[in-house]
Amino acid sequence: MGIKDTGCLNHVPYGYGVLRSYNGKCHYYRDNQHIRHNFKMKEFNPKRIHPYGVMEKLVDDLQKMRYLLGVPIIVTSGYRRESNPHGAGLAADITVPRKSFIQVAEAAYHAGFRRIEVMKRYGTSYGNLMSVGGHVHLDVYDGSGNTTWGTEYDCPSCDRIPCYPWYAWGIQNSWSATSHPNTFNQLLHNLKTNAHDTGYRGC
Ligand SMILES: [Zn+2]
């Protein structure tokens, strides 16, 4: 997995998920339980994987976003069994059908996210409402290595979780090309000019 399992996820009863708090403690919540005002535990597990978990900071920042936007945020992909931020409970792919990609990216930044990837579909604009399809990937990786699995990544370079901060945009699934926005303002500029290339900030 690339992630050292120090035990947190090994003791999750069926029908429960793990919320891993800032101090590293694991809290078990029933799938249907609200873990924040607008989010239930199971919303971070759309693929219904067992066991699963989510980092508290991800939930907190999404709740801040939810207050800023004033409309529902749908997590389309949360926990996954992968060696990447999703597999560490650090990431969510979201859609906000009643807001544009640009509005969602801005709300994410203001809520505190510093790793943001905006993915639209061919034939659409970042100014469109997200109901046209596509997603925004958000994660709270901060270099500390804290995950739902335990305490640290065991990958020496963490090459699948390349850097912090990280701003990317693209079309369909091809995001790893051309230009290099270094700041959120550069990302925003690319979104507002509806740049047709794709790009990300390398480490
Ligand atoms: Zn993602």
- Interval 52-61: pLDDT, tens: 999 899 999 9
Going from the Cα of 197 to the center of ligand 1, the distance in angstroms, rounded, reads: 19
Going from the Cα of 21 to the center of ligand 1, the distance in angstroms, rounded, reads: 21
Q: What is the pLDDT of residue 203?
A: 45
Task: Give the pLDDT confidence of 136-175 residue by residue, as tens digits.
Answer: 999 988 766 666 655 443 333 344 555 677 888 888 765 5
17 neighbors 44 (Cβ within 8 angstroms):
yes
Which of the pair, 128 or 10, is modelled with greater confidence?
A: 128
- Peptide bond just before 162 cis, omega within 30 deg: no
Going from the Cα of 114 to the center of ligand 1, the distance in angstroms, rounded, reads: 14
Going from the Cα of 195 to the center of ligand 1, the distance in angstroms, rounded, reads: 21
What is the residue-wise DSSP string for 159-188? TTS--SSEEEEEETTB-SSBB---SHHHHH
Among candidate residues 3, 98, 17, 11, the one with its CA nearest the CA of residue 54? 17
Going from the Cα of 8 to the center of ligand 1, the distance in angstroms, rounded, reads: 22
Residue listed under structure tokens 């507002």: 192
**How far is the C-alpha of 96 from the C-alpha of 77, rounded, in Å?**
13
Going from the Cα of 42 to the center of ligand 1, the distance in angstroms, rounded, reads: 17
Please determine, for residue 181, whether its predicted confidence score (pLDDT) is greater than 70: no
Please determine, for residue 24, whether its predicted confidence score (pLDDT) is greater than 80: no
Q: Is the dihedral of CA 164, 96, 59, 171 positive or negative?
A: negative
Residue 133: strand, helix, or coil: coil
**How far is the C-alpha of 158 from the C-alpha of 85, rounded, in Å?**
10
Among candidate residues 57, 50, 55, the one with its CA nearest the CA of residue 11? 50
Going from the Cα of 30 to the center of ligand 1, the distance in angstroms, rounded, reads: 24
Across residues 4-27, what is the average pLDDT?
A: 80
Q: What is the pLDDT of residue 81?
A: 84
Going from the Cα of 165 to the center of ligand 1, the distance in angstroms, rounded, reads: 15
Q: Does the predicted interface ipTM exceed a cut of 0.95?
A: yes
Task: Give the pLDDT confidence of 64-109 residue by residue, as tens digits.
Answer: 999 999 999 999 999 988 777 888 888 999 999 999 999 999 999 9
